[in-house]
Amino acid sequence: MKEDHPIVVRVRQRLRWHVTQPFERGVRGPLRRLRNAGRRYRPLFVTGVAGSGTSLVAVALAQRFDCAGIAYESAHEVASTSFLYGPMSDFDTVQEYLDGITPKDSWSVEAARRDLQELYRACCSGPAEWVCDKGPNVNLVRAGFLARCFPEAPFVLVFRNPLANVEGFRRKWSLFGDAPLAESIGFYRETHETFLRQAASFPERVVAVEYEEFVERPDAKLEAIGRRLNLPEARRTLRIASRPNVEGRGVRNVKRNRVGLVAGTTDRALARLDAAEAAEIRAGLGPLHARLRSLPCVV
């Protein structure tokens, strides 16, 4: 069968993101909140910087283990009246965005727990008590705060080759693409270092996985994560929407409720960088990448 033209695929994908999915959330969310009224979910926080593979890992975890749903980018989907709300499009500079998503002394653990449980009730279905809370960027810098909100919640850190990661979020998000390269490098460094500082107080609750290794051996990595965090095996397969194999934000290449892993994405990202850009990223983030790869919690 002849495949659709890439432009047609992109238009269909954007309609799904901006029309179909918001409509479905608007219809299903209140019904799920009503059905799940009074329930308390146990979050599994999946995090990394934007474009690091958090969507892929969150979906894989939610399908492999007993999960009631996925809360995508919780800071974006909670009510705009919540102090947790902070979409990237609301900010003019990278530093303003980082400052905006960083916890403040005035933030309330009780209010955050209430807002997030309301989000989980709108996302979840079935009897499982676990929910995957996928929060690129936000869950990195809020790890310590979230750990206080949910004292037993585990964290899965997804990290990727910084050359490919920085190239990706400069290409996909205008906030980064319009800023000097140094600001993107600084954002990658600051968010990861913030997470590592905060997670040092609860190391037994943290598992890290390298994106490139996950794509190479997903079953082995999922088994290791589940064993480390004592996650129960799935009683049913969580349904996820089909998506075309087109580069962009979030998970891709989903057919018949399964994600087809795409090899070579890191190599293609590296090929888009010129020599000077690659050298600047290596100089700024090479030591941090080596440190992430050597963490004792890496599976």
State pLDDT tens for residues 19-51: 444 444 444 667 888 888 889 999 999 999 999
CATH 3.40.50.1820 is the classification of domain 41-293: no
Other beta carbons within 10 angstroms of residue 23's beta carbon come to 10
Please name which of 26, 233, 36 lies closest in space to residue 124, comparing C-alpha atoms: 36
Given a contact cutoff of 8 angstroms between Cβ atoms, the answer to whether 282 and 189 are in contact is: no
Strands of the 155-159 sheet, one edge to the other: 67-72, 130-134, 42-47, 155-159, 206-210
**Which parts of the chain fold into alpha helices (H)?**
6-15, 21-35, 54-64, 74-77, 94-101, 109-123, 138-141, 143-149, 162-172, 174-177, 181-199, 211-216, 218-229, 265-271, 275-293
Crossing angle for the helix pair 54-64 and 218-229, to the nearest 10 degrees: 70
- Res 259 pLDDT > 80: no
Q: Give the tokens for residue 191.
A: 């968010």
Q: Given this model, what pLDDT does residue 9 score? A: 43
Given a contact cutoff of 8 angstroms between Cβ atoms, the answer to whether 140 and 159 are in contact is: no
- Res 154 pLDDT > 90: yes
Residue type, 121: R
Cα–Cα dist 47/56, whole Å: 11
- Interval 149-159 mean pLDDT: 98
Cα–Cα dist 104/120, whole Å: 23
Question: For the whole model, what pTM was predicted?
Answer: 0.84
Q: Given this model, what pLDDT does residue 115 score? A: 95
Please name which of 169, 208, 173, 194 lies closest in space to residue 296, comparing C-alpha atoms: 208
Q: Give the tokens for residue 275.
A: 């020599």
The model's confidence at residue 261, banded by pLDDT at 50, 70 and 90, is low
Cα–Cα dist 160/48, whole Å: 8
